[in-house]
Amino acid sequence: MSDTNTNDNDLISDLPGSFTGDNPGPATFPRTPPGSTVPNISDIHSTPLKVAVASQCATPHLKAYRMEIAEEIAKYFSSTSIDSWLNLWLPGKDLDLDNLPEEFSNKKFHFQDLILESKEEDSIKNEGQLYPKLCEVIQNIFDLAHHEKRTRPRLVIEDTSGWKEHSSIDNLPDGSVYLESDQEAYRLTMDELKTAQGSAERKPFLARTAFSKSLMPLEIKFDPSAEAFKVNKKGEIILPDSATSIQTRGQLFEYCMTIFGRQPRQHLFALHICRNMATLVVMDRVSVSATIPFDYVKEPLKLLTFFYRLALSDSSALGLDPTMTLASDADKAVLADFLPVVDRSKELEGDDVLIHEAFSDSRTNGALSIWPVYKVTVTSKEEDNTISTSNFLISKPRTSIPSLYGRGNKGYIAFDLEKHDFVFLKDSWRADSPDIHSEVEVYKKMQEAGLTQDDCVATMRCGGDVPIDGGSAMQRTRSQKLLKKRALGRIHCRLVLNEIAHHMSNYDNSRQMVFIIQCAFYGHKQVWTKVGILHGDVSDNNIMVVYRGDSIGGILIDWDLCKHRDDLEEKKVRNGNRSGTWPFISALRLQYPKKSLELSDDIESFIHVITWHALCYHKHSLSSVPQELALRVHSWFLNVQRDVDGLYYGCLAKFENIVGGHPGFELLDDSIFNQLIQDLYRLAQEHYKATDLDDFKKFRPALPELDETAKVRVKKVSRSDVQKIPSSDDEDDYESNTTYVPPADQPKPVSTLEDHKRLGRIFSRYVSQLGEWKGTAKVNNQFRRLPNVNFTNEQGVVIGTNVSKTKASSGS
């Protein structure tokens, strides 16, 4: 390919051009996107902020992390009676303990021997003593169900509180339910059993935690102060707000979040027990649904009926995804023939790096792999409305959102079993609404418009919604039916792209980075002008690097938050229904949360992506003052506040930078890159000058009334007071009713971001400076080593945190 050329009228027409050079080294695991459109920061109250710098910490403390999980769960939580809960989530046969088979007549199906309140010698004194007694009864139920229906696999309940899985994760559920057939992954060796601590009563149930195989986790507490759920006097469930109770909820849901990340899941059951009280919960991609806590000692049938029905359930009712199953040995043998050969004398390059990383754990650890190889079926609807299926092999996800709610995006390097090549497979849960367009639909429109890789867009191989079990019914969430507030359900969907893309941070130098963003910008223009679709979430996680031999380019992915031109023109995009990745949303939309998305907002986001990477990976005037950098990054990109209507807004400093036409820092050792960023801010400044901000007043956040105690009484200014002020000799002689009028020759501001032309010209002009701009090399991630900055109110309570807890804290 030829070098990129400057085109004064528009973007260059032959992108991606031949920006060649040394390929980046092995890619690091991409930074995971946030679980919501707002950073994980506590709500900022209206009281004045004080700033304190704490000790450096690269990752949040485990307890703080669990507190955040518990707080997030509380926002999407519902409860109902256990009878209603079972009818919705696990309908089926009732347990009949009066007519047991003879071989089960001597088995225990009750908890009457649990002495919890007595001070007698044989009373239970800690949660460890509860484990074997619970396991014994639950296992009896599993065995009874298996006896009645041999076609169902046997379930087992294990005490997993003391043995972590073969990974670096230290999460240890007190109990786990497994398929007996998966015992190779969770069973302990004879030597491990000999050295295991615990009573003789516990040892038969001791096993290893294996999140990739767990059917449900159990969290058991003995201390009443640690109870995660309680019942009030009205018989309603409440979420205790003590630190220990919040920790317990966070602990339970952290296990669930890990299982969601490891397994193909529609929903997941979990159990919390505190002394004699039990609470069953289930979660899908919309919310958590719980039973009202009940006394399982007095009413054992409620708990036992759940486990009885669970053991009789098929994989779909268990919450598993029947369209994703463990790969056969034959399929794995085919895969092995096409995996890159690892040679210690030569490093892997390009796509081979990602392919190796995706399947290395399953090849090395076999049955003990925490990332087993799955066979995935992707269903597509063809142009003639016929249904086709394609099969792929996947293992470790390339990207994954650590959240129980929302789209739950997972990205995999996948092997096509028919075409024998590697592709990218995206698994997600899209909003279940006819007014929201699916990403598969977007890619089909791109294909119909004739867009290809040369247009800097990814191309679709296949995709569609996921059926429950090969039928016409699709996998849908159900928990929204129990929420008091209306919430959209979600549909499971898959998308397969021909391109394997690398994370944005895998560039070598500043010029290469700008070229990658230029390519993505060109793809954005092509989709908008030829298809009429606006991306809606331009961010560093959605601009990806692609390799073509020795050439490098960029593409824009993740179109599932896109908006169609018709929707924008017909005002179907609801005010306040803002989407995007917080640090890269336009300053106008952050200041005016009710403002609808426009083309200029997307275009401005490209400027913020460049600024973010300049601050993170290149030397600048704030590099030597990390405390100041932490404060600036927070105020420019991460500051979040909430108005009285619950809408988020923030980052006033970002808005002020654009109005002032300056990014707020200077780059060192790269004058051309520095000049580029200055020009980008002047371009955005001109657009804001041409914007009637008075017209945006209706989009302002709703702010609370000023407290009476904060109001200051002032004396009225009288004419005599004014006359006391001496006049300036150089004052203009204005009439008393004269208003300021700008000079007639002052040029009228231009809406510079209303289309792609002006920013496209800037990109072309700078990237084409081959002789002058070599580009400075990228430095290590400067955000990762920033000190923690705690934002406190007047009482000293921490109400916000710094950049080191955001997604910028990982990466290369």
Q: How many helices (H) and strands (E) does the chain have?
A: 19, 28
- With b for 16 or more beta-carbon neighbours within 10 A and e for fewer, the 424-450 pattern comes to bbbbbbbbbeeebbbbbbbbbbbeebe
Residue 683 lies in a domain: yes
Q: Could you give the CA distance from residue 319 to residue 289 in angstroms, rounded to a whole number?
A: 14
Alpha carbon separation from 247 to 71, 237, 272, 753 (Å, rounded): 10, 17, 13, 47
**Are 93 and 176 members of one domain?**
yes
- Tell me which H or E stretch contains 311: helix 300-312
**Are 106 and 15 members of one domain?**
no
- Per-residue pLDDT at 47 exceeds 70: no
**Are 23 and 121 members of one domain?**
no
**Are 542 and 598 members of one domain?**
yes
**Are 305 and 166 members of one domain?**
yes
- Per-residue pLDDT at 35 exceeds 70: no
Q: Is the pTM of this model over 0.85?
A: no
Task: Return the DSSP state at 291.
Answer: E
Longest dimension (CA), the chain: 111
Question: Which residue type, as a one-letter code, is found at position 96?
Answer: D
**For residue 57, what pLDDT is reported?**
30
User: Among the three residues 262, 277, 312, which one is the final residue of a domain in this structure?
Assistant: 312
- For residue 595, the SS3 value is coil
- Per-residue pLDDT at 760 exceeds 50: yes
Q: Could you give the CA distance from residue 528 to residue 279 in angstroms, rounded to a whole number?
A: 50
Q: Could you give the CA distance from residue 505 to residue 27 in angstroms, rounded to a whole number?
A: 9
Number of domains in the chain: 2
Residue 753 lies in a domain: yes
**For residue 347, what pLDDT is reported?**
81
Angle at 141 between CA 136 and CA 144, to 5 degrees: 125
| Selected residue with higher pLDDT from 573 and 311 | 311
- Per-residue pLDDT at 480 exceeds 60: yes
Q: Which of 247, 215, 313, 257 is nearest to 68 (CA)?
A: 247
Q: At what angle do helices 510-531 and 599-617 cross, to 10 degrees?
A: 170
**For residue 744, what pLDDT is reported?**
61
**For residue 786, what pLDDT is reported?**
87
User: If you average pLDDT over every residue of the chain, what do you get?
Assistant: 83
Query: pLDDT of 509-549, one tens digit each?
Result: 999 999 999 999 999 999 999 999 999 999 999 999 999 88
**Are 86 and 3 members of one domain?**
no
Residue 739 lies in a domain: no
Average pLDDT over residues 254-264: 93
Start-to-end Cα distance in the chain: 30
- Tell me which H or E stretch contains 411: strand 410-416
Mapping DSSP onto H, E and C, the string for 172-187 reads CCCEEEEEHHHHHHHC
Residue 284 lies in a domain: yes
**For residue 797, what pLDDT is reported?**
40
Q: Please compute Rg for the chain using Cα positions.
A: 30
Average pLDDT over residues 222-237: 93
Q: Which of 26, 76, 357 is nearest to 239 (CA)?
A: 76
**Are 161 and 247 members of one domain?**
yes
The residue segments making up the domain with residue 303 are 77-312
Query: pLDDT of 79-134, one tens digit each?
Result: 999 999 999 999 999 999 999 999 998 899 999 887 666 666 667 778 888 999 99
Beta strands in 609-729 (DSSP E): 641-642, 648-649
**For residue 165, what pLDDT is reported?**
84
Q: Could you give the CA distance from residue 446 to residue 457 in angstroms, rounded to a whole number?
A: 9
Least confident stretch, 192-206, 558-572, 623-637: 558-572
User: Among the three residues 312, 339, 361, which one is the final residue of a domain in this structure?
Assistant: 312
- Per-residue pLDDT at 204 exceeds 50: yes
**Are 684 and 538 members of one domain?**
yes
**For residue 525, what pLDDT is reported?**
98
**For residue 794, what pLDDT is reported?**
40
Please report which confidence band the pLDDT of residue 768 belongs to, taking 50, 70 and 90 as the band edges.
confident
- Tell me which H or E stretch contains 482: none
Residue 659 lies in a domain: yes
**Are 692 and 794 members of one domain?**
yes
Please report which confidence band the pLDDT of residue 6 belongs to, taking 50, 70 and 90 as the band edges.
very low
Q: What is the dihedral of CA 142, 143, 148, 151, to 10 degrees?
A: 80
**For residue 726, what pLDDT is reported?**
54
Phi then psi dihedrals of residue 55, to 5 deg:
-65, 155
Q: Which of 731, 607, 714, 590 is nearest to 663 (CA)?
A: 607
Beta strands 288-291; 77-80: pairing state: parallel
**Are 664 and 799 members of one domain?**
yes
Q: Could you give the CA distance from residue 599 to residue 756 in angstroms, rounded to a whole number?
A: 9
Please report which confidence band the pLDDT of residue 369 belongs to, taking 50, 70 and 90 as the band edges.
confident
Residue 445 lies in a domain: no
**Are 72 and 162 members of one domain?**
no
Q: What percent of the chain has pLDDT over 70?
A: 81
| Selected residue with higher pLDDT from 422 and 198 | 422
Q: Are 687 and 758 in contact (CB under 8 A)?
A: no
| Selected residue with higher pLDDT from 221 and 710 | 221
Q: Could you give the CA distance from residue 130 to residue 274 in angstroms, rounded to a whole number?
A: 10
User: Among the three residues 266, 290, 312, which one is the final residue of a domain in this structure?
Assistant: 312
* CATH label of the domain that carries residue 810: 1.10.510.10
**For residue 268, what pLDDT is reported?**
98
Q: Which of 475, 481, 488, 476 is nearest to 80 (CA)?
A: 481
Residue 87 lies in a domain: yes
Query: pLDDT of 687-722, one tens digit each?
Result: 999 998 888 777 877 766 656 555 555 455 555 554
Q: Which of 513, 505, 423, 418 is nearest to 461 (CA)?
A: 423
- Token pair of 382, please? 């063809």
**For residue 793, what pLDDT is reported?**
41
Residue 713 lies in a domain: no
- Token pair of 524, please? 């954005």
- Per-residue pLDDT at 241 exceeds 70: yes
**For residue 341, what pLDDT is reported?**
86
Beta strands 648-649; 641-642: pairing state: antiparallel
Least confident stretch, 125-129, 204-208, 631-635: 125-129
Q: Which of 247, 255, 190 is nearest to 217 (CA)?
A: 255
Residue the block writes with tokens 């949303």:
585
Helix ranges (DSSP H) in 372-481: 439-448
Q: Could you give the CA distance from residue 172 to residue 162 in angstroms, rounded to a whole number?
A: 7
Q: Are 12 and 765 in contact (CB under 8 A)?
A: no
- For residue 217, the SS3 value is strand
Q: Could you give the CA distance from residue 295 to residue 302 in angstroms, rounded to a whole number?
A: 9
Q: Which of 178, 469, 144 is nearest to 309 (CA)?
A: 144
- Per-residue pLDDT at 202 exceeds 70: yes
- Per-residue pLDDT at 393 exceeds 70: yes
**Are 105 and 44 members of one domain?**
no
